[in-house]
Structure 1
């Protein structure tokens, strides 16, 4: 889930792609940047340098269960210890992984037949086609309550939407109607609802990874609760992780991985440090090779320092407006909140890290068509306007028969999150007389739980794309969508996205226009969301670390090609 304008160090071999041409589907993607090479690492001696990476993360791992994961922290580590049919390579291109080459595809591009390569789980058992069937059925099963299964499969994998709908209505459903079958141990057949041009991106995503049914069922509730209760089939194994409260975990090279010869790194030690100043102190003391994202107060002091990497992510942060709250069902109240805070000032003065104000929910520099950015058609849709916000606020209060409101605001527990939330609280309370914001700062895992339960009024949240199409954002807000979880609903919006996913899926221009109109309706008419900013990312990285892959969507990082060399 990363970047856009990337300041690459010449001595680093960092993967990056500015991005897929929308709806390319053929894997020929325009990265917008020079492709990485081995220049700078060829001939460098690594034999006498310990192949161990020490890094910091800003949050604990909420889950390592592929079907329950929904945040980039989980996806990042799942991606490094697991593998599916496809994997994102060093050039950000989805390439066959457990699929032994490209699949057979029928004429109407709805049936895919994959032949699996020989690979093993960390307990020595072979990875089979049935492992995919089991995992996918478990992800779509309403009883599992997977947050990503219905979102990633609905409208794409045949039968997925019907299973989800039946579960929601407490009706019987048959998991065998899902469009995935094991024809034999090595052959997997996948049937789609309709052609999906970004299918390879989907099958590289962790939700579509396999699971060993015997192991999962034997472990029961203990499955994925710690490192000992997991199986691995990727480049690394997790040898230390004591569960969701753990602040340290360790990954080690998986010698049983089918492509282990391509993995140089022997060990990765991760520690959770939520305070950027503490992270920087550890980096400067030589205690870590890589920090998490730097807070805004630190970034200016490292301008021009070769150890700081900076890029614009296709990740947008916003305030979710939960329409379970009667006041937030009122469009004027939503409009007042969406327009009632100075996001330009927030980006420049509070964040001060290269992030930019977002007046949209599909990011800029994400997907392009014939050289045109998706953003160009709609431009800015929801801008700060204190006067208009106050008018809407007063109108909304009058319609509600109230003269004041108190709203719970769900935010993060990091220092950076608290600063942002405090700023927004002050802005909204100042510009909207009679509003009281009650801040609730919680760890990321707790915020996910409360988001799933819709236990909030306002929630500060963000989204990075899961695949290389604007649908990764526009699909979020369909009625009762798996990631909606704020009660937004508009039949016009739903139809536009349905068309973009269906009859317009192979017409790039028409698909774009449908999504752009849907974005306009959702923001400029319904004010269903309050966009805040598009994030710039900044980390400190030891110059001796080569080959780190940083991704635009899905997992944040891949360590498969990392080599530790003597810093120059």
Structure 2
């Protein structure tokens, strides 16, 4: 997630995370249908989502709900297996790669078809990618191409035409991709829905109606989306008979219902009207954590306090490093995850969460290699705080904490208000709880001082988090700027694209500067969740990035 991804995973994940936040530790994934599903042979699954589908256009999507749809209905060159490893999907085997790592040549499966019977060709990828980077399209996720596919940055900036993008259909079944630099995580990117193909004829014919309801969408994945009117709270996935691997898709239908309150979801589950709940709220997570149907999953979501250093063109007190360090070390992270979330989330002392990146030499997790960069230490916090006040020439400060207006978000705000005011003499923390959309607007305008924020992986690499905070980055929105940090991020992208060991060390240095030395943010926790899933549902797979889950391998075994 990055130049606009804060709205993508976090558009629902940010507000939803605090509304229906929950977490846990990975596992199998099982549940099934009720009502209509009846017998084993019916192979019908019933499940709950927590929000409507905002769009059926993968180029324009910026939210978790939409990407969950694409995870069932679309496939790109790669898809994710049950261990979150990208594996060839529409790509026929591994690509041919040039010696410098900049040119990839993919063969496209000849048996791949769209749900209307049209073949999926290399031209579908060219059309989709050019559409994504074209400024006229307004795709927020276009940034994922920038610095990756050749000329993407220039096209997005209006300095080149979309047909100059480094993607070429050599023939119907051969796709050539030219990169700006070697990209170690390219396969992860290519599993993301923004990189999926689109049927040019279909998209062009539909025009502005494309993606507005299920009649104006095409699938090339395991399922087709049906009975979605563009705004409704229910829809279906129906097995795609033109899918190249349909023999291994056992579900005939999936019935989805949106339940916006935790008690509604629990009631539907306990009365047998759904087989899988969405993530449970803290209250229900506590209640059901030892239930035999509980499914726990650790997510790739890293949560932290963002400190805005520039508001309305003027420096805020948070431009002072000692003030930031005082705030960052003054609250009890474990008390927060144990008492407010109670869902398996656990404290984090860095930006990059566990599970998204491993050392190219010894396989050590990035979080373990980087270590604890900002821990709770209330005595040190007080020292930093008082030093900062002295530097500012004041004896007290009133700061604002911006968050959502949900019940859990308000509890979170009150927790931090209590912790910070108790630990830091002279601090008054004013709470501003607003609807999610308004919070995002205030963030975009940098009209805040402190904000509860989170980020989930767009791909499996630490860069998906660390390039958030480069100077003037689209998702920085804090006024933070450090030339050494910027250079390290650039070196990791350009200089060390083919030197994985040096790239690894460079990114470790960057996180240390961002979090430990500059305290640009204050890490809080890594999120997880707890769902309920019926024991007769087998093969339900959840993911650290991309869609939250996939249903291709689900079977009902009653």
What's the TM-score once normalised by structure 1's chain length? Answer: 0.84
Shift in Å at residue 177 of structure 1? 2.4
Aligned CA distance change for structure 1 residues 95 and 449 (closer, same or farther; 3 Å): farther
Shift in Å at residue 361 of structure 1? 0.7
* Candidates 148, 162, 175, aligned match of 1:188: 175
Shift in Å at residue 434 of structure 1? 4.3
Matched, 1:57 2:43: no
Native 8 Å contact 2:30 2:533 kept in 1: no
Aligned CA distance change for structure 1 residues 457 and 176 (closer, same or farther; 3 Å): farther
Shift in Å at residue 309 of structure 1? 1.3
Shift in Å at residue 560 of structure 1? 0.6
Native 8 Å contact 1:148 1:482 kept in 2: no
Native 8 Å contact 1:90 1:549 kept in 2: yes
Matched, 1:66 2:58: yes
Q: What aligned pairs does 1:274-289 form with structure 2 within 5 A after superposition?
A: 274-289=260-275
Shift in Å at residue 91 of structure 1? 4.0
Shift in Å at residue 431 of structure 1? 4.1
Residue 230 (structure 1) aligns with: 217
Residue 317 (structure 1) aligns with: 303
Native 8 Å contact 1:46 1:565 kept in 2: no
Native 8 Å contact 1:252 1:268 kept in 2: yes
RMSD: 3.0
Q: What aligned pairs does 1:211-230 form with structure 2 within 5 A after superposition?
A: 211-230=198-217
Q: Distance in 2 between matches of 1:345 and 1:105?
A: 49
Q: How many residues align?
A: 525
Aligned CA distance change for structure 1 residues 176 and 347 (closer, same or farther; 3 Å): same
Equivalent position SS for 1:361: coil
Shift in Å at residue 148 of structure 1? 2.1
Aligned CA distance change for structure 1 residues 78 and 412 (closer, same or farther; 3 Å): farther
Q: What aligned pairs does 1:133-212 form with structure 2 within 5 A after superposition?
A: 133-150=126-143, 152-164=144-156, 166-167=157-158, 172-212=159-199
* Candidates 433, 437, 460, aligned match of 1:440: 433
Shift in Å at residue 559 of structure 1? 0.3
* Candidates 513, 519, 531, aligned match of 2:511: 519
Q: Distance in 1 between matches of 2:512 and 2:163?
A: 39
Native 8 Å contact 1:54 1:290 kept in 2: yes
Residue 344 (structure 1) aligns with: 334
Shift in Å at residue 457 of structure 1? 4.0
* Candidates 372, 375, 378, aligned match of 1:380: 372
Residue 463 (structure 2) aligns with: 471
Equivalent position SS for 1:298: helix
Shift in Å at residue 217 of structure 1? 3.8
Equivalent position SS for 2:116: coil
Equivalent position SS for 1:148: helix
Aligned CA distance change for structure 1 residues 254 and 5 (closer, same or farther; 3 Å): same
Matched, 1:104 2:96: yes
Equivalent position SS for 2:283: coil
Native 8 Å contact 2:413 2:431 kept in 1: no
Q: After superposition, what is the alpha-carbon deviation per residue over 1:13-69, rounded to whole angstroms, capped at 9, x for unaligned?
A: 79xxxxxxxxxxxxxxxxxxxxxxxxxxxxxx9974422211122333343322222
Equivalent position SS for 2:282: coil
Q: After superposition, what is the alpha-carbon deviation per residue over 1:303-329, rounded to whole angstroms, capped at 9, x for unaligned?
A: 443210123333211222334423143
Residue 248 (structure 2) aligns with: 262
Shift in Å at residue 199 of structure 1? 1.9
Matched, 1:536 2:523: no
* Candidates 502, 506, 510, aligned match of 1:510: 502
Matched, 1:305 2:298: no
Q: Distance in 2 between matches of 1:412 and 1:551?
A: 28
* 5+ long unaligned stretches in structure 2: 1-8, 14-21, 32-36
Shift in Å at residue 388 of structure 1? 4.0
* 5+ long unaligned stretches in structure 1: 15-44
Aligned CA distance change for structure 1 residues 302 and 262 (closer, same or farther; 3 Å): same
Equivalent position SS for 1:55: strand
Aligned CA distance change for structure 1 residues 532 and 111 (closer, same or farther; 3 Å): same
Q: Distance in 2 between matches of 1:285 and 1:490?
A: 55
Aligned CA distance change for structure 1 residues 59 and 439 (closer, same or farther; 3 Å): farther
Q: After superposition, what is the alpha-carbon deviation per residue over 1:254-274, rounded to whole angstroms, capped at 9, x for unaligned?
A: 222222222111222222223
Native 8 Å contact 1:410 1:456 kept in 2: no
Q: After superposition, what is the alpha-carbon deviation per residue over 1:84-120, rounded to whole angstroms, capped at 9, x for unaligned?
A: 1111123433222222332222232211122222333
Matched, 1:120 2:113: yes
